[in-house]
Amino acid sequence: MRPGAGAPAVSRLDAAVLQQEVQRLFEPTASVAGSGLGRVGVELELIPLNVRSTDGPIPADVSGPELLHQLGADSLGDEQVGRFSFEPGGQIEYSTPAVTSLAELVEDMGRSMDPLCTAARAQGMRLAAIGLAPWYGPEAVGLCNPTRRYLEMDRYFRRLGPWGAWMMRLTASMQVNLDLGESHTAEARWRVANALSPVLTAVFANSAADLPDGTPVASGRAWVWSQLDGSRTGIVGRMGGGTPPWAEYLTFALTARVMFDHEMKPVESVGGTEPAVRFNDWWIAGSERGPVLEDWHIHLSTLFPDVRPKRWLEIRAIDMPARRWWSVPPTLLAALLYDERALREVEELFDTGPDGATADLSAAACTAGLSNPRLRDLASVCFEKCESAVRRFPAGWFGGEAMGALSAFRERYVEPGMTQSDEARADGLVAALVPRLQQFSSLPTAASLPPRSS
């Protein structure tokens, strides 16, 4: 039965096809060498700043590939050491390979990123590890990577309000990638990762900002994301529900607005009552324009929940931390999700409270950080369980550097209820979130770009 079905639909897509494509995102993966452990990887985003212009943005005429070439990233990025890419506002992203231990991950991050940061300094730039640029507003940054996808994404968000420009041009995060695991652990990992999302936002807040009304927030990055488009962001997996994870995500995807179709064209809502049609409505109505299977694939790729299933878990709720703390988020998450005892204990920790409590914690996480007593208590328990769990891993799996960073981070931030944003605010690194829309009229339109290659 199609969701919302009543009248016969003309859609070219069968309900079973939609379901199967989402179920594939949750296919369990075998553990590494039968150990019960999974692989781990991260995606790091750094904001390049022009030191010669007092931490202004990099020049608009410097393209992403050109900048990466200047910094020697093209010689670093291969399958063995990960991949470098360029985000819409000029952020440099490094995606590590999926490795079989945290110690390997720490080694890869240092081997790949430290030379890049050194090369940037030699070029008069620095690569800032922070969640939201506080030095300038989005009007100072065009789309440094004006691909067809980013141009249409930019247009879509501008139809909803001003915050898409902030997100695309000025935010940076760390995304932690962990395996779903085998079938008996996959659902628990999905639910616990989602439940941890507000705690991660609070613990790793590193984007101090002032809201338009002057209210200070700990994670300006998370706040900006919360203002974008509630139909495609936020927390999807819920504790205590009897709904399979794939069914939760299918409902989420069907009710999300369509950013664009597979030809990168907007799909208007019927009667123009919404900025864009919801996929479910487009699917039920059906037309010669679709949707077709490629539209569903494109749509799934434009969903940005706090935890995104991709046949692994992409955990997206973390501000980009300062360099010395890069190992802490993957250490915390690997310990809590890969150790079955810790996973069960954290699941029990969150599997209480009224429905909607997680949403309330999400709001508190981005505004208050660890000054919120409930989040501070949860963070303290999670770090305690993490340090217990790591002792049950094979010797050397985490490595000495990661364990030292975890202990130092806990002592410096978690125990006193502080965040990196508190330190940044003390240093005056505060973004002023001003809701202004910019036209960016000098940017090319999608129609002016070369046709897509087949």
- Burial environment of residue 291 by CB neighbours within 10 A (0 to 12, 13 to 18, 19 or more): buried
Label residue 64 by pLDDT band (50, 70, 90): low
Mean pLDDT of 265-293: 84
Nearest to 132 by CA among 89, 95, 175: 89
Mean pLDDT of 405-427: 98
Q: Can you tell me the distance from the alpha carbon of 417 to that of 202, in angstroms, rounded to the nearest whole number?
A: 10
Q: Looking up tokens 């679709």, which residue turns up?
A: 290
- Greatest alpha-carbon pair distance for the chain in Å reads 65
Note whether 419 and 372 are within 8 A (CB): no
**What pLDDT does residue 359 have?**
63
First-residue to last-residue Cα distance in the chain: 34
**What pLDDT does residue 43 have?**
98
**Element of type H or E holding 319:** strand 312-319
The token pair that represents 221 in the structure block: 């990055």
User: pLDDT tens digits for 13-38?
Assistant: 899 999 999 999 999 876 665 567 99
Q: Can you tell me the distance from the alpha carbon of 280 to that of 350, in angstroms, rounded to the nearest whole number?
A: 31
The token pair that represents 49 in the structure block: 């700043």
Q: Can you tell me the distance from the alpha carbon of 195 to that of 358, in angstroms, rounded to the nearest whole number?
A: 7
- DSSP reduced 3-state for 6: coil
Q: Above 80 in pLDDT, residue 438?
A: no
Phi-psi region of 307 (alpha: psi -120 to 50; beta: other; left: phi over 0): beta
CA 272 from chain center: how many Å? 30
Q: Which residue has the higher pLDDT, 297 or 269?
A: 297
Domains of the chain: 15-256+303-436 (3.30.590.20)
The token pair that represents 441 in the structure block: 């009229």
Which of the listed ranges 1-5, 58-62, 94-98 does the model predict with the highest average pLDDT?
Answer: 94-98
Q: Can you tell me the distance from the alpha carbon of 207 to that of 272, in angstroms, rounded to the nearest whole number?
A: 36
Share of the chain above pLDDT 70, in %: 85
Q: Above 50 in pLDDT, residue 437?
A: no
Q: Can you tell me the distance from the alpha carbon of 428 to that of 122, in angstroms, rounded to the nearest whole number?
A: 26
Average pLDDT, the chain: 87
Rounded-to-10 torsion of CA 221, 85, 449, 438: 20
Mean pLDDT of 302-311: 98
**What pLDDT does residue 354 have?**
54
At what angle are helices 328-338 and 340-350 packed, to 10 degrees? 90
Q: Can you tell me the distance from the alpha carbon of 277 to that of 259, in angstroms, rounded to the nearest whole number?
A: 9
Mean pLDDT of 207-236: 96
Q: Above 50 in pLDDT, residue 341?
A: yes
Min mean pLDDT across 73-82, 221-230, 336-345 is at: 73-82
**What pLDDT does residue 149 have?**
96
Label residue 207 by pLDDT band (50, 70, 90): very high
